[in-house]
Amino acid sequence: MLTDYHTHTEKGPYTVEWLEYFLSVAKSRGIDEYGVSEHAYRFLQTSHLLDNPWIRERRTENLDEYFMMVEDARKAGHSVKFGIELDFIPGTETALEAFIKSYPFDYVIGSVHWLGDFGFDLLEMKSKWENRDIKKTYDEYFSILTQMVESKLFDFVGHADVIKVFGHEPDDQVFLEEWYDQLSETFSKNDAVIEVSTAGLRKPVGKLYPAPGLLRASYRRNVPIVINSDAHRPEDVGADYDKAVSYAKETGYTELVAFTERKRSFHAINQPK
């Protein structure tokens, strides 16, 4: 089986016609299960979960319309999984839990995009990296990621080392390996699933997420994976799956996780078309 659960249709309207562009690319690339996972911050229903000036300007959508699009697509005979990508902000666990229960998600992605008011993966905030100590920023990011996994609220971890998105990487392999070891232990202890994401290949860093050291450490501790594109355009659904599948298999993985109504099932990894 192949799945692509991490995709965003936000550049178009919440219509079945728009969704069909994503579905047809998924089909052409041999993706058996396609799912949408809009950024939660875009919805008016999430104003209590995360608030800052950047987000406030962009919180314009209604989650019910997003859910209706999925429902309408299903009525039209399409198989579509209903997901969401949530920003994890420490201290909001109780509110997150209530929000997650309020919609019939097939899966919920936990992602860290914010270190305080620093949206580290946003182009608009890229210049803020110039005043940052890279190792300290990684410490902060991986600490929040640890808290997120320990909350056990999410079905899988989105792009676990997306902190490298613009190519800021510590020149210290021991530092990284120590984090990878600690993170993989946290994933394993908390029964987490992690994402192998091709999105980094389309970003300045030009690499898959997560780094080989982190994927290897996770494999050694039996942490399951999903494979996703994080597509924001139809043409990126299933993008570079040949690379992601080889990467997973070379690491030792033979299975991936599928989700239905937040329940897991395990399937042999197929070859993409």
Give the ranges where the chain is alpha helix by DSSP (H).
16-28, 53-58, 63-75, 93-101, 134-151, 173-189, 212-220, 241-251
As given in the structure block, the two tokens for residue 62 are 């209604």
Which among 24-32, 42-50, 154-162, 238-246 is the span making contact with Zn ion, rule CB under 5 A? 154-162
Q: What's the min distance (Å) between Cβ of 233 and Zn ion?
A: 12
Class of residue 126 by CB neighbours under 10 A (exposed 0-12, middle 13-18, buried 19+): middle
Q: Which C-beta is closer to Zn ion: that of 158 or that of 170? A: 158
Per the listing, tokens 């990621």 go with 145
Binder to Zn ion among 111, 137, 218, 228 (CB under 5 A)?
111
Q: Which C-beta is closer to Zn ion: that of 33 or that of 85? A: 85
Which among 105-113, 122-130, 178-186, 252-260 is the span making contact with Zn ion, rule CB under 5 A? 105-113
Query: Contacts with Zn ion in 155-214 (CB under 5 A)?
Result: 158
Q: What's the min distance (Å) between Cβ of 85 and Zn ion?
A: 5
Q: Which C-beta is closer to Zn ion: that of 90 or that of 252? A: 90
Q: Which C-beta is closer to Zn ion: that of 117 or that of 178? A: 117
The vertex-70 CA angle with 17 and 199, nearest 5°, equals 80
Give the ranges where 116-263 is alpha helix by DSSP (H).
134-151, 173-189, 212-220, 241-251
Amino acid at 226: V
What lies within 8 Å, CB to CB, of 164 at 6+ separation is 200, 205, 207, 209, 211
Q: What's the min distance (Å) between Cβ of 248 and Zn ion?
A: 19
Nearest CA to 11 out of 39, 31, 53, 34 is that of 39
38 sits near Zn ion (criterion: CB under 5 A): no
Which among 20-28, 48-56, 104-112, 208-216 is the span making contact with Zn ion, rule CB under 5 A? 104-112
Straight-line distance from the first to the last Cα atom of the chain, in angstroms, rounded to the nearest whole number: 12
| C-alpha distances out from residue 175 to 38, 134, 160, 165, 169, Å | 33, 11, 16, 18, 11
Q: Which C-beta is closer to Zn ion: that of 9 or that of 111? A: 111
Q: What's the min distance (Å) between Cβ of 174 and Zn ion?
A: 28
Q: What's the min distance (Å) between Cβ of 51 and Zn ion?
A: 18
Q: Which C-beta is closer to Zn ion: that of 4 or that of 140? A: 4
Q: What's the min distance (Å) between Cβ of 261 and Zn ion?
A: 21
Q: At what angle do helices 212-220 and 241-251 cross, to 10 degrees?
A: 50
Binder to Zn ion among 230, 236, 238, 239 (CB under 5 A)?
230
Number of residues that bind Zn ion (CB under 5 A): 4
Nearest CA to 86 out of 68, 65, 107 is that of 107
Q: Which C-beta is closer to Zn ion: that of 29 or that of 39? A: 39
Q: What's the min distance (Å) between Cβ of 123 and Zn ion?
A: 14
> By the criterion CB under 5 A, which residues form the site for Zn ion?
85, 111, 158, 230
